[in-house]
Structure formats: C-alpha cells, structure tokens
Amino acid sequence: MVFVSTHQLDARRLLCPMPVIRVQDALAALAPGEILEVTCTDPGALNDIPAWCRINGHRVLDTAQQDNEIVIRIEAGDGDD
C-alpha cells in the first residue's frame, strides 16, 4: 500500500498572480506524486492554476467551488515538462 502526503496551501485573499506563485513555490518543495490542496478566493485562479500546471508537468486532480472559495487539488509532477 502506498501512502501519499497531502499538503495544504492557503491562498485566500491573494490576487493574481500571487496564488500561482504560491503554488509554484509549494510544488517546488514536494516530491513527485505528493498532493497539494490549494484554497483560494481569486476567481481567476480557477483558470490560471490549471493552465500553469499543464505547462509545468503537474496534474490537477479536481477542482471544487463553494461560496467564494475554490479548492484545487494538484498532484506534483517531476517538473521536467
């Protein structure tokens, strides 16, 4: 059985481009396969973070939106893409 670490990132009340920059910094510290769960309030993050992940070799597992909060779960890639 494989256990995967899940890390939390609070990017609430940050405006573009700060949520993406915080995600970039957090993912740089994770091993491939680890999960980052980002909570943010900037509606642009719903498009910006997945786009940044595609370009940089990370995988968005899912997104959820409730009230004014967006939660994006990302699986860290190797960052070589």
d(CA 69, CA 54) in angstroms, rounded, equals 22
Q: Calculate the average pLDDT of the chain.
A: 94
d(CA 17, CA 31) in angstroms, rounded, equals 24
pTM for this model (two decimals): 0.92
Give φ, ψ of 17 to 5 degrees. Answer: -100, 10
Give pLDDT, residue 3.
72
Give pLDDT, residue 80.
58
Strand, coil or helix: 8: strand
Query: Which position has the higher pLDDT, 38 or 2?
Result: 38
Domain boundaries, the chain: 6-75
The catalytic site residues sit at 16
Q: How would residue 1 be classed by pLDDT, with cut points 50, 70 and 90?
A: low
Fold category of 6-75 in CATH: Translation Initiation Factor IF3 (3.30.110)
The model's pLDDT over 33-68, given as tens digits with 9 standing for 90+, comes to 999 999 999 999 999 999 999 999 999 999 999 999
CB-facing half-sphere around the CA of 26: CA atoms within 13 A? 25
